[in-house]
Amino acid sequence: MRVSLRDVLLLQPQWTSQNTPAMQKRGRLIRHEVAGWLREQLPVLRRGAPVDTADWRVEASDGAGNKNVVPWVRVYSAARSPSATSGWYVVYLFGAQGDRAYLSLMQGTSEWTNGEFQSRPLPGLRERAQRAREVLADRLRPRPDLVEKIVLNADRSKHGPAYEAGTVAAFEYEVDAMPSDEVLLSDLSFLVSVLSHLYDIAPHVGLEDDLAPEIVDALVEADRSAGRGRRGQGLRQTAAERVAIERRAVAVAAEYLTAEGYEVVDVGATESYDLDARRGEQHLYVEVKGTTTVWTNGSEILLTRKEVALHLREYPNNMLLIVSRIALDRSITPPSASGGELRVIQPWRLVEANLTPVTYRYLVGE
């Protein structure tokens, strides 16, 4: 393994997107040598994990078609991280200049949008990585040789900065000081044990899902409408569940505004905002968003074209109310929603650079 990692790094300065002899050799090393060694270690990794995980897998990529600037090989649970775009996993990442590689505890850093994989917003990735570091602090502390920041020098890669932002902790290996196979296996076993613990606690600390269900469903529907539905990809929430969440969010928001002395009218059925709030001479256009997930800085919400236009126009006489951690009871028909934690953003300055188009309408000319 030591030799294979070093050989991949020695080929990195010869990177090109084309399938040159050097890139062919790099691909064989990534997909066969490095990935093969990892698969051989899976029984050892499973025995050393604190939480029994029966579906450990290995996946490798040096690029489908065009070659990746940063090739990778990951170890993951098939159920907890069905693709490299979702969940948590341990991954080898190779610096673009060939000077160093990393074994990183990583989150999914991209999403499928408009027919291609695009990196997720970097602030959200950093926020989630920091949250993971906090909840895993006791597990990571025994290894002071771990680093929190990785440097891939991958300016030519649209995903390189996202890999850096999405890293929780990593072992760093310089090409001229590559450790022995025994040390590499020890490091791997340690990070996989931390990953196993993360899988166990993620549902209880708000780190299970990297995208809120409503975001995932919007991406699935957008793909379907564009004729690019992904096989096996279903919706996470039914229409009835979405209605229950929306009604609960509006109820929490209206209760808050009323307690603040506003006269509140629900206008969501007829207008491009949810609540009309008036107090004396003050008039607020209030957007309400509800989710079952934990809200953190960098989380995403869905907006229609008309909602964007309205809140750009009405600022600063507007407000965003986010109701997170709504509890959804699916055992009854129709489903019921309760609870929720409120976050208030007033005034709400909608930053256009933070908008990511989910799909486009295109007028085809003659």
151 shares a domain with 95? yes
104 shares a domain with 197? yes
d(CA 59, CA 42): 12
Task: Give per-residue pLDDT as tens, 294-318.
Answer: 776 667 889 999 999 999 999 999 9
d(CA 236, CA 193): 29
Q: Is position 360 within any domain?
A: no
% the chain with pLDDT above 70: 91
Whether residue 310 contacts residue 285, with contact meaning beta carbons closer than 8 Å, is answered with yes
Q: Is position 229 within any domain?
A: no
Q: Which residues span the domain enclosing 155?
A: 2-209
Q: Is position 176 within any domain?
A: yes
53 shares a domain with 161? yes
204 shares a domain with 72? yes
Say yes or no to pLDDT of 262 above 90: yes
Task: Give per-residue pLDDT as tens, 207-236.
Answer: 765 566 677 677 767 767 777 654 445 566
Q: Is position 362 within any domain?
A: no
Alpha-carbon distance values, 244 to 128, 292, 333 (Å): 27, 11, 11
Task: Give per-residue pLDDT as tens, 121-130.
Answer: 888 889 889 9
201 shares a domain with 121? yes
290 shares a domain with 169? no
Ranking 13-22, 32-41, 140-149, 156-165 by mean pLDDT, the lowest is 156-165
Strand order in the sheet with 167-174: 56-61, 72-77, 88-94, 100-107, 167-174
Q: Is position 220 within any domain?
A: no
- pLDDT at position 366 is 62
- The number of folded domains in the chain is 2
279 shares a domain with 331? yes
